[in-house]
């Protein structure tokens, strides 16, 4: 017991809230702080995703013009996903589909799948001396069709400014079925500005399309918001350890995303420098955002047999100060 405080949430802990009014009315939120400067919000009704992320009181993520949108408003056809794309720090894309709308083996699949607009069936939090952990179960199950279950644990360290996302996907159906997953992580102002430095030590970078090809040489450079900017996507390849980091010297902080690149084999950089649509996506996944049909054509789909599981982990670490950034990049130009 700390004799200086009356309640532990004076320093760290979890508070549960509900939104009132607007399209987010009734949504359940878990606000987490670790007492060392890291704070984030978990949206229980949106796949236990992370809607807000801040460090030392400074916003790190992007919050789209849509704001909070309850799953009841979700449009699951074509690119209707965009009408409720809050973005936040993390939007989970999958599990039945990721990326472009398409038809695969007779199944019509919407943009980025449905899991990101699905409420957790069960969610709770626990805490010990090491970490705060939020556990959630989200079901992507359909009668006469696929049955996938996502078990998610978000672990926030009380010792350092980092959090771990651990997901286990299980095929609860009686037939093999694809399991697609993309961690759509979205950097926003004031972390993201033309002063920001981007470090992605990949062994290979390729442009998604002709539009991205125009800026391939400048994939690492962040520019000010532009009118009517058309997005650019870049695919990065790693050997074993995946890493993407961003730092802004104007605020003296940043963050790093690390993952097992043999497990999460794809990494997408989504560069969207539009006015008000000003966001940088740093997105590990087990697939690209080109759609399930394309992944099948390339023989790159992860197919789970009945009762088979797939496990994924991503770590997010805060970067505090110029020295920490220099130590990370090892003197290389970011």
Cα distances (angstroms) measured from residue 36 to each of 33, 162, 189, 190: 8, 10, 21, 20
Domains along the sequence of the chain with CATH: 8-329 (2.70.98.10)
The whole-angstrom separation of Cα 189 and Cα 197 is: 13
- pLDDT confidence bin for 331, thresholds 50/70/90: low
- Please confirm whether the linkage preceding 20 is cis (ω < 30° from 0): no
Q: Are 47 and 116 in contact (CB under 8 A)?
A: yes
pLDDT digits (tens, 9 = 90+) for 91-133: 999 999 999 999 999 999 999 999 999 999 999 999 999 999 9
Q: 216 by DSSP, 3-state: which?
A: helix
Mean pLDDT of the chain: 97
Cα distances (angstroms) measured from residue 230 to each of 212, 215, 217, 234: 9, 11, 17, 13
> Does 309 have pLDDT greater than 80?
yes
pLDDT digits (tens, 9 = 90+) for 182-238: 999 999 999 999 999 999 999 999 999 999 999 999 999 999 999 999 999 999 999
The whole-angstrom separation of Cα 135 and Cα 200 is: 30
């Amino acid at each position: 017991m700390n004799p200086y405080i009356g309640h532990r949430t004076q320093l760290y802990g979890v508070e549960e809230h509900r939104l009132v009014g607007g399209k987010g009315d009734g949504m359940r939120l878990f606000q987490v702080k670790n007492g060392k400067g890291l704070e984030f919000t978990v949206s229980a009704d949106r796949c236990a995703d992370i809607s807000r992320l801040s460090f030392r009181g400074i916003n790190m993520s992007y919050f789209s013009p849509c704001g909070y949108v309850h799953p009841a408003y979700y449009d699951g056809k074509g690119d209707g996903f965009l009408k409720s794309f809050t973005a936040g720090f993390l939007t989970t894309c999958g599990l039945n589909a990721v990326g472009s709308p398409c038809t695969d083996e007779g199944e019509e699949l919407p943009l980025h799948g449905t899991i990101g607009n699905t409420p957790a069936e069960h969610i709770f939090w626990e805490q010990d001396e090491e970490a705060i952990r939020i556990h959630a179960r989200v079901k992507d199950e359909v009668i006469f069709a696929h049955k996938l279950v996502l078990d998610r644990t978000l672990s926030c360290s009380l010792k350092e400014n980092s959090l771990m996302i651990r997901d286990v996907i299980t095929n609860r159906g009686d037939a093999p079925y694809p399991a697609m997953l993309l961690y759509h992580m979205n950097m926003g102002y004031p972390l993201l500005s033309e002063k920001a430095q981007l470090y992605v030590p990949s062994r290979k970078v390729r442009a998604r399309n002709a539009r991205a090809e125009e800026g391939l040489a400048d994939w690492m450079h962040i520019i000010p918001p532009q009118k009517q900017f058309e997005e650019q996507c870049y695919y990065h390849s790693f050997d074993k350890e995946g890493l993407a980091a961003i730092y802004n010297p104007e605020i003296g902080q940043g963050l790093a995303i690390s993952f097992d690149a043999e497990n999460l084999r794809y990494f997408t950089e989504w560069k969207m420098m539009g006015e008000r649509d000003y966001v940088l996506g740093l997105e590990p996944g087990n697939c690209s955002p080109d759609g399930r049909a394309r992944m099948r054509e390339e023989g790159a789909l992860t197919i789970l047999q009945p009762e088979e599981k797939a496990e994924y982990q991503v770590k997010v670490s805060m970067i505090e100060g110029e020295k920490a950034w220099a130590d990370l990049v090892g003197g290389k130009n970011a």
